[in-house]
Structure 1
Amino acid sequence: MSTEPRTSPAPRGTTGTGPAPLVDRHGRLHRDLRISLTDRCSLRCTYCMPAEGVPWLAGSTMLSTDELVRIARVGVGLGITEVRLTGGEPLLRPDVVDVVRRIAELEGPQGRPEVSLTTNALRLPALAAPLRDAGLARVNISIDTLDRERFRTLTRRDRLHDTLAGIAAADSVGFTPIKLNAVAMRGVNDDEVVALTRFAIERGYQMRFIEQMPLDAGHTWERTSMVTQGEILERLRTAFELTEVPGRGSAPAELWYVDGGPATVGVIASVSAPFCGACDRVRLTADGQLRACLFARSETDLRTLLREGADDDALGAAFRACLAGKKPGHDIDDPSFLQPDRPMSAIGG
């Protein structure tokens, strides 16, 4: 069945000046749409999936490019101003450059969205320039260690040189800022917090450390083994003077100036210092399920709506219904917390 949109009136909840903003019942305005392009990945990071990988989504369940772009267009029409492409590894999608181009050309009430991408950088040497030319604004690159053998152990692939080449490629074509993300793990790479920060600052990048979250495929996460924001900052302060950057807004990372700035380092403390009260994100999985929270245990099925011929009005209503059920927080500290059935690779970051 064709997924071309039918001509329809503006989505429900509109006003005379355009669609009403995407606000949940807790008053949070949503402007950030995270779209997973695939659940496949070229690495096998120990904190994400087992060595043999996980069962991949069936090809028939994956959104086509037309379907994906149409959902993005509806979201942008409802006030989404940033679209982040994730995975799995988004650069494994064969038509990723076309996806970027088509989303970057969308028009909404606030103009065109900013399109960004989170990647392991392995394919950036070949794709950095085409992605930039297609309208990609910036990249976030995952790198958990600077040690080759440790990288091989962590990712089960000997690809550190490819990640470093990808970072250099992103720099050479002018992406800025380049944000480097590292998951801090006790006894694994927490001794590299200072080295990773120095690596980033010396090259003009932004280093951000992420608390390990309960999103691994094996459900082996334990809070006691997690490196907290407080511990990360303690290590950083052995080498740098840190000054908190004011005005965080809805950004997931809390930032500190390093040695007076302008360089900064960030920590995404989803567990020990959650920022749910300012969350402005909604997520679309590669198989067309809309999620109001990274840790949600329920989803809104947009794929079925699309394939049954729903118009834009119905898709917009589904966005609003999904956000109407968004909880005030993820409740990781609550004894009743249950880890999502899907691992991070299938949800999208």
Structure 2
Amino acid sequence: MCVRLTDSKRCFVSTQFEDSYSRKYYYLRLSVTEACNFRCTYCLPNGYKPTHKNSEFLSVDELRRVVSAFANRGTSKVRITGGEPSLRKDFIDILAMISEQEGIKKVAMTTNGYSLAKNVHRWRDAGLTDINVSVDSLDPRIFHQITGVSKLYNIMNGIDTAFEVGFSQVKVNVVLLKDLNNGDLPAFLKWIQYKPIQLRFIELMQTGEMHSLFSRHHQSGVSIHNYLVSNGWLMKVKKHSDGPAEVFYNPNYVGEIGLIMPYKKDFCDSCNRLRVSALGQLHMCLFGDFGIDLRDLLQEDRQKNALISRIQDHVSNKKKSHFLDQGYTGVTSNLASIGG
């Protein structure tokens, strides 16, 4: 069945990509680079070590063909990830291209925020609708210890600038780390009391390169969940294109709290997102066994139907769970490799 999504003459198939567990996929996480200029302990503690030339990452035309195929099958939200996506010199072109695709209603990005203050107005003008910024601590000393850089004040200024240029909400990602930032909740709550920030605590996830760090610093989000529930916070109802966070609100706060707890039972039951790496590999899961090469079908527009068929064939075989709770980490060596 074909459903008209705009006033254009073009029509798009309404059927979403769907797996054998009846999960439908509305949300694409699209990595545009593996490069990053931070050295976060949980991702790239030794900094980014190039294994590919920048020219090997998907071109704007290749990215357009990916997004067009997903939009054709009902995807309405694209999140641009990395690495640090804004390191791409053609990042504005990428934003504009995605925002022009019919059926795409949300164009989001996840950024470390290093150039946020300087560029967020240009990003918004190019079509960015939603923004996530990583801020792992409000203590400059701890922030430097976690990220390897001393950019906290620049990033905080960038978040304020995002509000000034018209973003109604900014999501802030905090990787929860025992003995580093797990005591920062009071400071974070004070910060969001009068600011429209959705603060998202993300449990540390084990990848192939960080077994020892995981054992030292993994902290469950259950304690924060229990604190919120006992202090009058209420859970919001999810929308179909939302990510995995359980979001809580409180009438005494302008901001919100999100919890992403991938080790929680049934976490994967509501999965609605697929991933494509900067090298054109389709990943069913951040912790999957392998990637599926799409690049041979990204060279010409006429290969679109074959591209859609290849994606659906593999989505049909998507596993029920990531099995993180059983110690499985898949092929993911670090979170920057396929967009976190």
TM-score normalised by length of structure 2: 0.89
Q: Does 1:329 align with 2:321?
A: yes
CA contact under 8 A between 2:274 and 2:284: conserved in structure 1?
yes
CA contact under 8 A between 1:289 and 1:299: conserved in structure 2?
yes
Q: Does 1:20 align with 2:15?
A: yes
Name 1:5's counterpart in structure 2: none
* Alignment-mate amino acid for residue 77 of structure 2: E
* Alignment-mate amino acid for residue 241 of structure 1: G
1:92-131 equivalences in 2 (<5 Å): 92-107=87-102, 111-131=103-123
CA contact under 8 A between 1:40 and 1:56: conserved in structure 2?
no
Name 2:5's counterpart in structure 1: none
Instruction: Give percent identity, aligned residues only.
Output: 33
Aligned mates of 1:341, 1:275 — CA distance in 2: 19
The one of the two structures with greater contact order (alpha-carbon pairs below 8 A, sep at least 6) is 1
Q: Does 1:42 align with 2:40?
A: no
Aligned mates of 1:165, 1:20 — CA distance in 2: 42
Aligned mates of 1:297, 1:338 — CA distance in 2: 9
* Alignment-mate amino acid for residue 171 of structure 1: F
- Give the drift of 1:237: 6.7
What secondary structure is seen at the aligned counterpart in 2 of 1:206? Answer: strand
CA contact under 8 A between 1:23 and 1:30: conserved in structure 2?
yes
CA contact under 8 A between 1:229 and 1:272: conserved in structure 2?
no
* Alignment-mate amino acid for residue 321 of structure 1: D
Name 1:294's counterpart in structure 2: 286
More displaced stretch, 214-223 vs 76-85: 214-223
Aligned mates of 1:163, 1:217 — CA distance in 2: 27
More displaced stretch, 243-252 vs 96-105: 243-252
- Give the drift of 1:245: 2.8
CA contact under 8 A between 1:76 and 1:113: conserved in structure 2?
no
Name 2:156's counterpart in structure 1: 164
Name 2:334's counterpart in structure 1: 343
- Give the drift of 1:313: 1.1
* Alignment-mate amino acid for residue 134 of structure 1: A
More displaced stretch, 167-176 vs 215-224: 215-224
Aligned mates of 2:308, 2:263 — CA distance in 1: 31
Q: 1:306 to 1:162 in 2, by over 3 A?
A: same
- Give the drift of 1:221: 4.8
Aligned mates of 1:216, 1:89 — CA distance in 2: 20
List per-residue Cα deviations over 1:40-91 (Å, max 9, x = no partner): 1121011111224344433353111111111111111111100000111111
Name 1:148's counterpart in structure 2: 140
Name 1:320's counterpart in structure 2: 312
Q: 1:236 to 1:299 in 2, by over 3 A?
A: same
Name 1:137's counterpart in structure 2: 129
Q: 1:17 to 1:155 in 2, by over 3 A?
A: closer
What secondary structure is seen at the aligned counterpart in 2 of 1:191? Answer: coil
Indicate the RMSD between aligned Cα atoms, in angstroms.
2.4
More displaced stretch, 267-276 vs 71-80: 267-276
Name 1:4's counterpart in structure 2: none
Name 1:269's counterpart in structure 2: 261
List per-residue Cα deviations over 1:263-299 (Å, max 9, x = no partner): 4211011123452111110001001101111111211
Any gaps of 5 or more consecutive residues in structure 2? Answer: 3-10
Name 2:54's counterpart in structure 1: 59
Aligned mates of 1:64, 1:330 — CA distance in 2: 30
CA contact under 8 A between 2:275 and 2:284: conserved in structure 1?
yes
* Alignment-mate amino acid for residue 122 of structure 1: Y
Aligned mates of 1:177, 1:34 — CA distance in 2: 20
Aligned mates of 1:86, 1:48 — CA distance in 2: 14
- Give the drift of 1:112: 3.4
* Alignment-mate amino acid for residue 183 of structure 2: D
Q: 1:126 to 1:150 in 2, by over 3 A?
A: same
Aligned mates of 1:155, 1:70 — CA distance in 2: 34
More displaced stretch, 206-215 vs 248-257: 248-257
Any gaps of 5 or more consecutive residues in structure 1? Answer: 1-9, 11-15
List per-residue Cα deviations over 1:104-158 (Å, max 9, x = no partner): 1111xxx333101111111111211111111111101110111111111111111
Name 2:232's counterpart in structure 1: 241
Aligned mates of 2:18, 2:137 — CA distance in 1: 39
Name 1:88's counterpart in structure 2: 83
Aligned mates of 2:104, 2:329 — CA distance in 1: 37
Q: Does 1:215 align with 2:207?
A: yes
1:188-203 equivalences in 2 (<5 Å): 188-203=180-195
Aligned mates of 2:134, 2:292 — CA distance in 1: 29
* Alignment-mate amino acid for residue 35 of structure 2: R
What secondary structure is seen at the aligned counterpart in 1 of 2:173? Answer: strand
CA contact under 8 A between 1:243 and 1:260: conserved in structure 2?
no
Q: 1:136 to 1:102 in 2, by over 3 A?
A: same
